[in-house]
Structure 1
């Protein structure tokens, strides 16, 4: 961890610390002081204000018009003494936009002085819309401190996975039935007999099954529960799905045991799962969307069109061919994603943004 120096500044993050370890990797090496709080704990002495996800400003809940009016007043006050940096993680909220969420996103963009982009695509897109703002590309860091890397065979032994099985993993949350259907269809098309698909947080679809006599029959067997288990692949040995949050400890084992990481998004700007896969030096398959496409091309990784399952099938098959290589990655290329390197760029950018 770097020592704070005389040119260190205080960076105010107007939200509680997020469980997402993205920022933790940077904070460990940064020379600046990051102070987490809430909207009303701001002080004029803070040089820089950092916003990661607009929705987080209101605890991931939809703000009212009154709350948004209050936030607008706060932004005007903050800008008198501090500069505002916004990290563009998403184009919009994952669960859909409303008028108030749209106003929130637009407000954050309007009052921000500088935008940090996690890839070139994002920078080019927003530079056209907001030419007067300062735009900078600073890559997402690898998760070197957040997840433990285990020996692959030992991880498989602990998890009960056969040593020669081809293991695909979709880390993170599968957010929709469409994403679920897409990834399963592509996986099923892979011509590999001994294969396994792991999803650490799969989308759960509950079927509403009601019929006369169900209540009485439930004393013997719960038909609705049984059918839902079958529909959600609880009894299929090709799939290992968790429906809910997976601990970092468990995810570390699953990632260590896997061969291929899937980014199953149909719409996407950035993906932390891409850098999670790189942390474990796994082959990664992902969509031709957003900043993700640029990184997949840079690293010569399989790419699919999320509007075409056949395209994903080909990309999944291509990933199998890459497994035969001793090492797919050039460590010199991955160096620019290392947290220490990323934090150094953040430090320079924060100093440039400091208006005090």
Structure 2
């Protein structure tokens, strides 16, 4: 908990945990959702937290402090009831950078209260330890992010996808895919693409902006170049293949990141990646499937994009390498690893089948 219906990460994890015989119930994101989930599921052995933002962040400083205190009190009650607490850390702070000092303070308390903390990579584990003052290294387990193989339709060829998007088969096509927030660096991506000044290059930006200000900013920038295709909306699941298969390379121009589902999505569609050396990305892509750049270098993204265009003969091989890596991160294996963590903290628990 909290459960986000649109997030395949949780759907796939839930499905595979249930396949192991676990009785897994979904929890909400309201102020008292943690305690309510336990009351509605008497006999619960553990609660598994994911994103803390809805439990900690309010629309004012006072509300943020109040929500955070109520959340900690609920966790204390859980501990008194001998209910174990597991926390998968997807990010170190909320995406909008609201009340981050307060959030960091209470996130550290959650980390201390948690019986187990899950990180998606070695670098994420290190960042979590430093951010939340976790002294016990054994408390943090590394569980990789699962792949999306077989979840999304993938029947269209590159030619069919480009035809549907009115793109030439000869264009070199960059793709940014996913929700658009400030920290994801889409504005810098547009600037770098314009700087390339390549008439045979296309940039697709497909995803829903987080607010009107971001939408207006991106739309204004994109007007400067007719080779930028904007699809500023939530992309239906069946249409994701359209954009992924049309692209030569997927770009993750993030200013800040701990872990990334979009990275695994691109790998699941055999895409080579352009990304900064940040967070989990260097840990995941150790096989030469990425054009890395230094996030502190103002021209780093531009140079990585330029390099990808001169490396066309390597792209297929890079995408294949990423696909092979993605195959290793099956949800069945991930669920089994998480189940073992549950078992380690619930020594008397056995699944129902």
Q: CA deviation digits over 1:185-223, x for unaligned, max 9?
A: 22233364311111113757759xxxxxxxxxxxxxxxx
Residue 317 (structure 2) pairs with residue 327 (structure 1): yes
Q: Unaligned regions of 5+ residues in structure 2, if any? A: 28-32, 349-353
State how far apart, in whole Å, the 1-side matches of 2:254 and 2:217 are.
Answer: 24
Distance 1:199 1:353, change over 3 A: farther
The alignment partner of 2:176 has SS state of strand
Using CA pairs under 8 Å that are at least 6 residues apart, name the structure with larger relative contact order, 1 or 2.
1
Deviations 1:295-321 (A, max 9, x none): 233444111122223221221123234
Measured in 1, the distance between the counterparts of 2:225 and 2:208 equals 14
**Residues 152 and 33 of structure 1, relative CA distance in 2, 3 Å threshold:** farther
Q: Deviations over 1:300-348 (max 9, x none)?
A: 4111122223221221123234431343234654332232332232222
Matched length: 324
> For the pair shown, which has the larger CA radius of gyration, 1 or 2?
1
When the two chains are superposed, the root-mean-square deviation of aligned CA atoms in Å is: 2.9
The aligned counterpart of 2:140 is 135
Q: Comparing both structures, which one devotes a greater share of its residues to helix?
A: 2
Indicate the residue corresponding to 1:294 in structure 2: 283
Deviation at 1:277, TM superposition (A): 0.5
Quick check: 307-316 or 125-134, which moved more? 125-134
CA–CA separation in structure 2 for the residues paired with 1:146 and 1:309: 37
Q: 1:28 aligns with which of 8, 15, 26?
A: 15
CA distance in 2, matches of 1:158, 1:146: 22
In the alignment, which of 297, 312, 336 is matched to residue 328 of structure 2? Answer: 336
| Aligned residue among 159, 168, 179 for 1:153 | 159
Which range is displaced more, 42-51 or 254-263? 42-51
Q: TM-score, normalised by structure 2?
A: 0.81
Segments of 5+ residues of structure 1 without an aligned counterpart are 1-12, 208-226
SS at 2:24's partner residue? Answer: strand
Partners of 1:322 and 1:341 lie apart in 2 by: 34
TM-score by length of structure 1 reads 0.80
Runs of 4+ in 1 over 4 A off after TM superposition: 58-64, 202-207, 227-230
